[in-house]
């Protein structure tokens, strides 16, 4: 696996899919789909967790910080990001504006942002197994 940049923004630029998931949902997805977990898929995924998480303060509301946390994993060789709002008070509009600015990944033949929630993680799996992420990766590498 290649060395990842330190900043959230730079990591998001190399990410192929983002998944909104709490830490419990993230762990449950690993358990259900990773080869090292207790996979329910015939073709379990090669899941390499990146241990250093990141967080960013998106803003402040009523003197309370708005914090968003990020974790990454290499899944079948593709960089996937898991994120969640982790402050006591959270503003999803701020989060969406941040993601719109820093994450450009597309899927479904380039028609929508490569994003889902934990319940729809099958979109990530389908994109990997159908080869769509490979096509996106090839297109991304051409631009570099």
pLDDT, one tens digit per residue, over 35-66 is 888 877 777 889 999 988 999 999 999 999 99
Calpha distance 17→58 (Å, rounded): 21
Instruction: Please state the domain count of the chain.
Output: 1
- Domain of 78 in residue numbering reads as 9-143
1 domain-assigned: no
Q: 48-54: long-range contacts (C-beta < 8 A, 24 or more apart)?
A: 48/1, 48/73, 48/74, 48/75, 49/73, 50/4, 50/74, 54/8, 54/11
104 domain-assigned: yes
- Which parts of the chain sit beneath pLDDT 50? 138, 141-142, 144
3 domain-assigned: no
2 domain-assigned: no
């Amino acid at each position: 696996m290649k060395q990842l940049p330190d900043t959230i923004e730079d990591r998001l630029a190399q990410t192929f899919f983002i998944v909104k998931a709490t830490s419990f949902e993230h762990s449950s997805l690993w358990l259900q789909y990773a080869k090292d977990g207790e996979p329910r898929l015939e073709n379990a995924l090669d899941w390499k967790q990146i241990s250093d998480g990141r967080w960013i303060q998106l803003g402040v509301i009523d003197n309370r910080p708005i914090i968003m946390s990020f974790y990454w994993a290499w899944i079948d060789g593709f960089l996937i990001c898991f994120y969640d709002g982790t402050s006591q008070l959270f503003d999803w509009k701020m989060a969406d504006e941040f993601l719109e600015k820093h994450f450009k990944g597309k899927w479904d033949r380039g028609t929508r942002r490569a994003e889902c929630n934990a319940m729809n993680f099958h979109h990530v799996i389908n994109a990997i197994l159908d080869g769509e992420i490979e096509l996106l990766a090839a297109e991304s590498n051409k631009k570099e």
